[in-house]
Each structure stands twice: as structure tokens, then as C-alpha cells.
Structure 1
Amino acid sequence: MFGASTAAHQIEGNNTTSDWWAFEQRTGSFIPEPSGDAADSFHRWPEDMDLLAGLGFNAYRF
């Protein structure tokens, strides 16, 4: 098997419905650099899966 893995926070981008996003934005948060726009995999996941398959990957962990 050969594949890739990721986490929602890394690839969704500007996920304002996430608890982590709310935590980052809170006044006094210890997060020095809050997340911003990312790869928008939330909307582009079919294209992302096609890209992985095109690379010969046969496994993906989200």
C-alpha cells in the first residue's frame, strides 16, 4: 500500500464551524498564527482523490 494522510484542520481552510477555529480566534488565545485559507479540500475532495489516484496512491487516511 502507498498513500497519504492529512487532517481536516490542515486542508479545509477557514472552517469557521470548527471548534478549533473558534478557539484560535478567541481574544487572548495562545495560538500565534491562526489558520486561514488552505487547500479548500472541503469543497474539492473529489478532485483531490483523483489527484491521489493519478499518483498511484491506493490508500488515504483523513
Structure 2
Amino acid sequence: MTNKQFPKDFIFGTALASYQVEGGIYNNDWTHWENKDSSVCAEPCNEACKHYEYYKEDIELLVELGIKAFRFSIEWSRIEPEEGKYNQKEIDHYVDKANLLLEKNITPIVTFHHFTTPEWLMNDGLWASEKVITAFFLIMLAK
């Protein structure tokens, strides 16, 4: 068998999706889908593994593993729980996470949409609606 090695400058990373790991998110389209009587979802996220609460400890584990890049998503329904009303505390949480990663020499890679959409957009047709496209664009500008 040939011994293969990664290039010396190869960056090992890992990733997660906020809705799947943070816990405590109950105001998006996936929460509604998971909790429908007709849903095939056998394991709703509910409190998940509480990464939102334990992200500092999780980042320490990344350091121990030698991880150099970490992709995480921002839960839109946390930072804009109501149309046009941004929650600065939640924005600060994600900024703090990115800053801690940088402190630990881990490159943060941010995903702005990982399949969940705030419930306030559900009645507008979700991604088939121009309103959703505009709202997503505005969240990118943090307006």
C-alpha cells in the first residue's frame, strides 16, 4: 500500500449547522415542519447539543484536535426574530464566536443560510417570494 500524506499546508477543518446543534431555536420553518403531526422527522432539534451555550468549550476541543478552519452558520431567526427587528445580543454572540476562533488561530468560515428561514417569512412563500430575497440581502448588509 502506498503511503499518502496531505500537503504540509493542507488545512483541516470541520463544520456545523446552527439549527442542528445550538438548541433553543423555535421560530423558524424547520421547527414548524418538525412539530407537525404529519412530519416524518423522528428527532426534532429542540435543545440539540447546546452548542450555543457551550461554544467556548467546543472551540477548545477544536484546538486540541488541531483544527485550523471552522465553518458555522448564523441562525437567521435568532438575529432577526421579527421582520426588520435585529437582536444585537444574538449578533454579538456570533461575533464573539468568530473572534474566539481567530484568537485560537482557527479560521472562521461563515454560512449565512443553512436551510432554516425565520417563521415571519413563512406566509410569504419562503424562497419563492421576492420579499425573502430582499430580506436575505438586507441581513447580509446588517440593516
Coarse TM-score class (shorter-chain normalised): 0.7 to 0.9
Return 5+ residue gaps in structure 2 as ranges: 1-10, 73-143
2:13 and 2:67 map into 1 onto residues whose CA distance is 5
* Letter matched to residue 46 of structure 2: G
Indicate whether 1:2 and 2:15 are aligned.
Answer: no
1:30 Cα offset (Å)? 4.3
* Letter matched to residue 8 of structure 1: S
2:60 and 2:24 map into 1 onto residues whose CA distance is 23
Q: TM-score of the superposition, structure 2-length normalised?
A: 0.38
Contact 2:14-2:67 within 8 A present in 1 as well: yes
Contact 2:26-2:46 within 8 A present in 1 as well: no
* Letter matched to residue 48 of structure 1: D
Question: Which deviates the most, 7-16 or 26-35?
Answer: 26-35
Structure 1 or 2, whichever has the larger Rg, is 2
Map of 1:61 onto structure 2: 71
1:21 Cα offset (Å)? 1.5
1:18-57 to 2 correspondences below 5 Å:
18-57=28-67
Quick one: higher RCO (CA 8 Å, sep 6+), 1 or 2? Answer: 1
Identity of aligned residues (%): 35
1:19 and 1:46 map into 2 onto residues whose CA distance is 28
1:60 Cα offset (Å)? 0.3
Would you tell me which structure has more helix in proportion to its own residues?
A: 2
* Letter matched to residue 29 of structure 2: D
Question: How many residues get paired?
Answer: 62
Structure 1 runs, 4 residues or longer, greater than 6 Å off: none
Q: TM-score of the superposition, structure 1-length normalised?
A: 0.73
